[in-house]
Chain A
Amino acid sequence: MKKVIAKENLCLNCRLCEVYCKTAHSKSKDPLRAYLNEPELQSRITVCGDNQKSVAVQCRHCDNPKCVEACITGAMQKDPVTGVVTCDAEKCIGCMTCLAVCPFGCIKIGETAVKCDLCQGEEEPACVKNCPNRALVYLEMGGKADA
């Protein structure tokens, strides 16, 4: 399956990926309006570090996802066809057991678990599309897409 790869040496710590991730998951789809009117929005990608050293981290959509295995409600699932790991907000109770087992720190805390969905339906995730330094690339990574 295709995954987002972060090139650490090219990351500027500008955090535009975070801004565009929020925008892509906002109601308005506009960066300013999303910023002003939807304060609860969370970026599903996180730039860790500072201006010396930084790297953007987001869900790896693992072949054997720990979060899916640990989910106590059946909300977290890996799509058997696309391989994308998503959380069903109707089922999720926000217990954050997924966060407690994700080895990369890719689950954000909200009313329910919040995580990268690879901008399903889009050709390229918003973070990749809007990274000015091409530090994020969307590549075929192999890995089976079975659940």
Chain B
Amino acid sequence: MRSYLIIGASAAGLSAAQELRAADPQGKITVLTAEEYLPYSRPSISYYLKSKVSEEDIYLRPAEFYSEKKIDVFTGARVTGLDPAAKTVTTADGRQFSYDKLCLATGSHPFVPPTEGVEGKENVVTFLDFASAKRLKEMASPEKHAVVIGAGLIGMKAAEGLVKLCKSVTVVELAESVLPSILDANSAVMVKEHLEENGISILLGNTVTRADSQGDTITSVELKNGEKLPCDLLVMAVGVRPETALAEKAGLRVERGITVDPETMQTSDPDIYAAGDCVTSVDMLDGSKKIIALWPNAVQQGKIAARQMAGKADRLTENFSVNAIDFFGLRICTCGLIHAAGDPYRELVRREGSVYKRLIVKENKLVGFVLINCIENAGIYTALIRSGTDLSTLQGDLMDMPTMLLYSEAERTSLLLGGEPA
């Protein structure tokens, strides 16, 4: 009987555990997580903050799931040692676990740049896990001024969650646009205006240089341009870094993220796999190496790592970013190479009021899209990207809302009957 060990119990870790059980009904499956909670939806923490999702609904699976599937999950188990020669790991509290096959699904950790007067203060939080969301929810109150550093996905979701709970929310961002990982320059301007209309102040090209406190509590922050803002709550959301400490200590190859074979998720040690935010991915659309810090990718990678660990031949055949998100009713859906510009890329753009559509085409294939308030059926575009369909084989105007009528009748019938496209 094989013994499988997974470190990290989130998107990648849970997906790996579930897939291992499907692939190997007998194997021993153990999952270790530093957090105090069973696997929950990390992206839902901002919805928990604004009370749209309850504590009970944030969990990805009911607690019985793990006993039914014979998956042993140890919470509060932070792994501090990994010995690839002995094939064992040790936790901070001295427990030891051994494995035949190991999966590192350690995700990312917040990057907190050193800022004068911030360290050790009681009203500073990062916003990456359920514990921090709980803390933030306790701390937020109607008379407080909140400052969020960073206008990425995490910072903006924290700001959205706080806007009804605090007197003011100001986001300070060093770059010149919001949400650079999921928006192009045009849409970033539209989204920024929408966020401002909904009560979030956004200061671009600026950052917090220091904080002033009374005792242990920050009371104001000073910005790069000399301005001072009242601050009763400081959220540090500058960015995240892949959590690679264990892999590095164990001597695995790491280049920003853990280096893996992009098709098998195997690390430089044949018995150790890695998946999710902690790995360096290869974007199938342009072959570039990057960290794709998105939930669906972590799930897919965890699944493939598990198949491989169980001795199956499945490989990762697709890897590119797809993201859908909303802010105060504004619907955003983006996919693929959204920043690609110039030869060999061509773009199709339509903009009317608060609706924006940009398709990015390379050699007659769709390689990316940005959709604002026109996300209907976006998955059809995603499928065209995934399959590398030659756009000249399609019927009708690609810029209209995509439907199955884009395909020829024969193709459409086969897709709808087959259940799944190639």
Interface residues of A (CB under 8 A from B): 3, 5-6, 8, 46, 48-49, 53, 55, 57, 60-64, 66, 69-70, 72-74, 88, 90-91, 93-105, 107, 109, 141, 143, 146
B404 touches A55 (CB 8 A): yes
Does B60 sit within 8 A of A, measured CB to CB?
A: yes
In angstroms, Cα B61 to Cα A95, docked, is 19
A sample of 9 cross-chain residue pairs with beta-carbon separation below 8 angstroms, ordered by A number, consists of: A57-B404, A60-B416, A60-B420, A63-B420, A66-B379, A73-B53, A74-B41, A95-B324, A102-B379
CA distance A25 to B61 in the complex (A): 26
- Min CB distance A78 to B, Å, is 12
Please tell me if the beta carbons of A104 and B380 are within 8 angstroms of each other in the complex: yes
Q: How far is the CA of A79 from the CA of B58 in the complex (A)?
A: 19
Question: With the chains together, A141 CA to B419 CA distance in Å?
Answer: 9
Our pick among B295, B375, B421 for the contact of A72 (Cβ within 8 Å) is B295
- Are A55 and B412 interface neighbours, CB within 8 A? yes
Q: Which residue of B lies closest to A65 (CB)?
A: B420
Q: Which residues of A lie under 8 Å from residue B380 when comparing CB positions?
A: 103-105
Task: Find out whether the CB atom of A99 lies under 8 angstroms from the CB atom of B404.
Answer: no
Please state if A72 and B413 are interface contacts (CB–CB under 8 Å).
Answer: no
What residues of chain A lie closer than 8 Å to B331, measured between beta carbons? 96, 109
Q: Which of B43, B415, B420 contacts A95 (CB 8 A)?
A: B43
CA distance A25 to B333 in the complex (A): 27
Q: Which residues of A contact B403 (CB under 8 A)?
A: 46, 48-49, 57, 105
Contacts of A95 in B (CB 8 A): 43, 324-326
Q: Identify which of B22, B61, B303, B379 contacts A101 (C-beta below 8 A).
A: B379
When distances are taken between beta carbons in the complex, the residues of chain B under 8 Å from A101 are 296, 322, 379, 382
Is the beta-carbon distance between B405 and A103 smaller than 8 angstroms? no
Most buried by B among A49, A72, A74: A72
Contact A55 B405 (CB under 8 A): yes
Contacts A57-B404, A73-B44 hold; do A104 and B324 have CB atoms under 8 A apart?
no
Q: A93-B43, A93-B52, A100-B333 are in contact. Are A48 and B379 (CB under 8 A)?
A: no
Bound-state CA distance A62–B342 (Å) is 38
Instruction: Tell me, rounded to whole Å, the shortest Cβ–Cβ distance linking B295 to chain A.
Output: 4
- Which residue on B lies nearest to A5, using beta carbons? B417
Q: Do the beta carbons of A74 and B416 come within 8 Å of each other?
A: no
A70 close to B322 (CB less than 8 A): yes
Residue of A nearest to B296 (CB): A70
Query: Nearest B residue to A111 by beta-carbon distance?
Result: B52
Given A70-B296, A73-B44, A104-B380, the answer on whether A96 and B419 have CB atoms closer than 8 Å is: no
Measured CB to CB, the nearest residue on chain B to A4 is: B416
Q: Which residues of A contact B412 (CB under 8 A)?
A: 8, 55
B274 within 8 A of A: no
Name the B residues within 8 Å of A55 (CB-CB): 404-405, 412, 416
Q: Is B47 an interface residue (CB 8 A)?
A: yes
Q: Known A73-B44, A105-B403, A109-B376; judge A97-B296 contact (CB<8 A).
A: yes
A8 to B409, Cβ gap below 8 A?
A: yes
Q: Which residues of A contact B295 (CB under 8 A)?
A: 70, 72, 97
> Which are the 10 A-B pairs with shortest beta-carbon distances?
A105-B377, A103-B383, A74-B60, A102-B379, A70-B296, A100-B324, A48-B403, A96-B324, A73-B41, A72-B295
Question: B181 at the A/B interface (Cβ < 8 Å)?
Answer: no
Q: What separation, in Å, do the CA atoms of A103 and B52 have in the docked complex?
A: 29
Provide the residues of chain B in CB contact with A100, threshold 8 Å: 322-324, 333, 335, 375, 378-379, 382
A74 to chain B, nearest CB (A): 4
Q: In the complex the two chains form, what is the Cα distance from A99 to B382 in whole Å?
A: 10
Q: Find chain A residues with CB under 8 A from B377 CB.
A: 99, 102, 105
Tell me which of A72, A99, A143 contacts B379 (CB under 8 A). Answer: A99
Cα of A98 to Cα of B296 in the assembled complex, Å: 10
Cβ contact within 8 Å between A48 and B22:
no
CB-based contact A8/B413 at 8 Å: yes
Q: Is the CB of B322 within 8 A of A97?
A: yes
What 20 additional pairs, Cβ within 8 angstroms, besides A48-B403, A107-B379? A48-B405, A60-B420, A62-B419, A62-B420, A69-B296, A69-B300, A72-B42, A73-B41, A73-B53, A74-B59, A99-B324, A99-B378, A100-B375, A102-B377, A103-B379, A103-B415, A104-B416, A105-B379, A105-B380, A141-B419
